[in-house]
Structure 1
Amino acid sequence: MHPVQTIVDQVKILRQAAGISQKEMAGKINLDVTNYRKLEAGKRKRLDLHQLLVIADALKTAPEQTLVPITQNRDWSAQPGIALTESMDFINDEYHYQEVITLLRSIIEKQHNIIAELNKLSNNSQGYKT
């Protein structure tokens, strides 16, 4: 298996792992199957954050799981799987800002919770040393 390069690659991997066909997935996100196939093939140029959240919900996965390629390859302009136009016009939309902020806060909160749990485990294990 080749490394994940785009967000749509990750979506495809998650969809296949869930045993969902392209037709089923298209229905879950209220998109016709032809356009969904174009999306997975990278032929559909725009995938906004709202659509990404709907896809994550349909896959019953955390939204950040669809963002793995962004965290691995930080060159967002090279990501054809997410809508980042040269003018980045959608970023000026307050609605999108709020979605991005909410998603990032959720990711950060989960990471803080994991760190807190690891610290508890570490502190507990240090108390048992002889």
Structure 2
Amino acid sequence: MNTLNRIKRSVANRSDDVLLRSEFDQFGSAAQVGRALRELLMDGTLVRLGLGVYAKAKPSVLTGKPIPVRPLEVLAPEALNKLGVAVMASRLTQEYNAGRSTQVPAGIVFNVGRRRIARKLGFNGKAIQYEHA
């Protein structure tokens, strides 16, 4: 069985929607894994959220192009947790949820504490932002 089929089967059997490239290192060399992931991106099985971060995909109802199976607001914290970053709701989201504000927070912002993060995650022009406590 070749690397592409092994990775394809592994993606289908996983329950989580976010996948890191490092999770596929056991299936072959870096070049083989890269080619297999690129093939899965082209056929619409996966979409890329960032460098080495992928999500399962489904066809869009409107355009037919591949989109993530869940919204970016749900996938980004899952990806950051896999990368070892503790994620909390932003200050504005906390105020809205507590009833201290009536303004709905715009954009996708996550509080990462005092940690400095340079990783960019996003899809189709929507990117997440980081807030420091």
Q: TM-score, normalization: structure 2?
A: 0.27
Higher relative contact order (CA 8 A, sep 6+): 1
The answer to which structure has the higher helix fraction is 1
Q: TM-score, normalization: structure 1?
A: 0.28
The answer to which structure has the higher strand fraction is 2
